Amino acid sequence: MQSPPLEDAPRPSETLRAFNRRRLLTALRQGGAASRAQLAQLTGLSAVTVSALTTELMREGLLAATPGTTRRGAGRPPALLSLAAPAGVTVGVAFGHNQVQVAIGDLSGRVLAHQRVLLDVASSATRALDTAAGLVGTALTEAGTPRSAVVGVGMGVPAPLDRQVGTIGSNNILPGWVALRPAVELGSRIGLPVALDNDANLGALAERAHQTDRRVDDLIYLKISTGIGSGLILGGQLHRGSTGSSGEIGHIQIRSDGVVCRCGSRGCLETLVSTTSIVALLQPAHEQGLTIGDVVTLVAADDPGATRVVAEAGRMIGRVVADLCNHLNPAAVVVGGELSEAGTPLIAGIRGAIDQFAQPVVARAVTVRAAALGDRAEVLGALLLAADSARPL
Ligand SMILES: [Zn+2]
């Protein structure tokens, strides 16, 4: 369990006391039950402050205490504090290029409902946003929760963002979304304020908050789908860059004479190894129309052609990630997105290229693994964003 990754200072107009309460609640939401001493360590707050605030939060019914189970020496084990029964729910909305997912979560991080619809997100923002708004209603019904119980909404989009104005930061990545402010658009459809971030950033947050990466402060999350992006957690904080466009590794040029990419450049990584490119590469060897799901199935059945193409894609991605590792010296590279379902050949390809092209000391320091949350990482990250931006408890 670590201190909250999103913010380390009060928001404008937020009192220090409100900020400290939020910090405690975030630490418990992300890491589960903890003693007062552990909370002091995790948040950097003094023992006196933790004691005063947890007493206050328990009096308000927001925290519950259970007796500790491990004895330290002869003393009584310290009580463990956890979030009490959910005081509200959060909504996460994650757009991919070809699908939208919606999840409802409670404030302890439990997922109450999950919905997914396939559609062409890139070409029509209106249809995608209308669909997402409908799905939010369906998911709330599935969770048995009224709209009035929603305390925060988080949203991810598969494109760089202009964080100053809340628009997509590129005119070409999502052509149907130019000049729109996605958070405002969704917010007006569902009648709730919406917090916005890049989808790979949200995947990084979710994977890092997941049990296995709790102690990883430097992590690169790769989203490999119809587009390729990355989310960077550096020193325990999400790194968004000066304008919100960090981590766009899909548009690193691999071949100067390659095909023109949707970003306007030529021979980008994304033109060579996105799920669309991989399906197109394998299609001539198959009679029926292939999907990326078929490719994953073929790899699982040891089909030599599919395994070869996916392994080569892994090495090409790994060649780029090796340079990123030399720059950033991460402890973990987590591979998410639809192609991550292809598993071993993809991960082995990325691992092999990092071992070959990163500095030995850098390569030794980094573990490479498939996303533990699969292709739900982004929508679960949207729930974390929602909880962090939730209206005050
Ligand atoms: Zn490009």
What length does the chain have?
393
Averaged over 169-184, what is the pLDDT? 81
Task: Give the three-state DSSP class for 197.
Answer: strand
Dist. CA 261 → ligand 1 center (Å):
5
DSSP state letters, 156-167: EESS-EETTTTE
Q: How far is the CA of 78 from the centre of ligand 1 (A)?
A: 54
Residue 268 Cα to ligand 1 middle (Å): 5
| 6 has pLDDT over 60 | no
Average pLDDT over residues 293-304: 94
Task: Please answer whether residues 104 and 145 qualify as being in contact, where contact means their C-beta atoms are separated by less than 8 angstroms.
Answer: yes
CA distance 278 to 271: 10
- Enter the tokens of residue 279: 């399906």
Q: What is the pLDDT of residues 181-208, one digit of tens each?
A: 999 999 999 999 999 999 999 999 999 8
The total of other beta-carbon atoms located within 10 Å of residue 58's CB is 14
Contact 348, 371 (CB under 8 A): no
Structure tokens, 61 = 């019914």
For the segment 35-63, what is each residue's pLDDT rounded down to a tens digit?
999 999 988 999 999 999 999 888 877 78
Q: By three-state DSSP, how is residue 220 classified?
A: strand
The region, left, alpha or beta by phi > 0 then psi within -120 to 50, assigned to residue 233 is beta
Q: Quick: pLDDT tens for 64-108.
A: 888 776 655 667 788 889 877 556 899 999 998 889 999 999 877
pLDDT value of position 2: 40
What is 56-110 written as a DSSP string? HHHHTTSEEEE---S--TTSPPPPEEEE-S-S-EEEEEEE-SSEEEEEEEETTS-
Alpha helices in 95-198 (DSSP H): 125-143, 182-190
Distance 254 CA to ligand 1 centre (A): 10
How remote is the CA of residue 201 from the centroid of ligand 1, in Å?
19
Q: 213 pLDDT band (50/70/90 cuts)? A: low
Residue-range domains of the chain with CATH: 16-83 (1.10.10.10), 89-203+377-388 (3.30.420.40), 214-372 (3.30.420.40)
Confidence band of 392 (pLDDT split at 50, 70, 90): low
- CA 253 to ligand 1 center in whole angstroms: 7
Sorted by sequence, the CB contacts under 8 Å of residue 272 that are 6+ apart come out as: 254, 255, 258, 313, 316
Neighbouring C-alpha atoms within 13 Å toward the C-beta of 387:
36
Mean pLDDT of 373-391: 89
From 6-10, 112-116, 291-295, 353-357, the region with the lowest mean pLDDT: 6-10
Protein residues with C-beta less than 5 angstroms from the ion ligand 1: 251, 261, 263, 265, 268
Tell me, in angstroms, the distance from the centre of ligand 1 to residue 348's CA. 25
Ligand 1 center to 228 CA (angstroms): 10
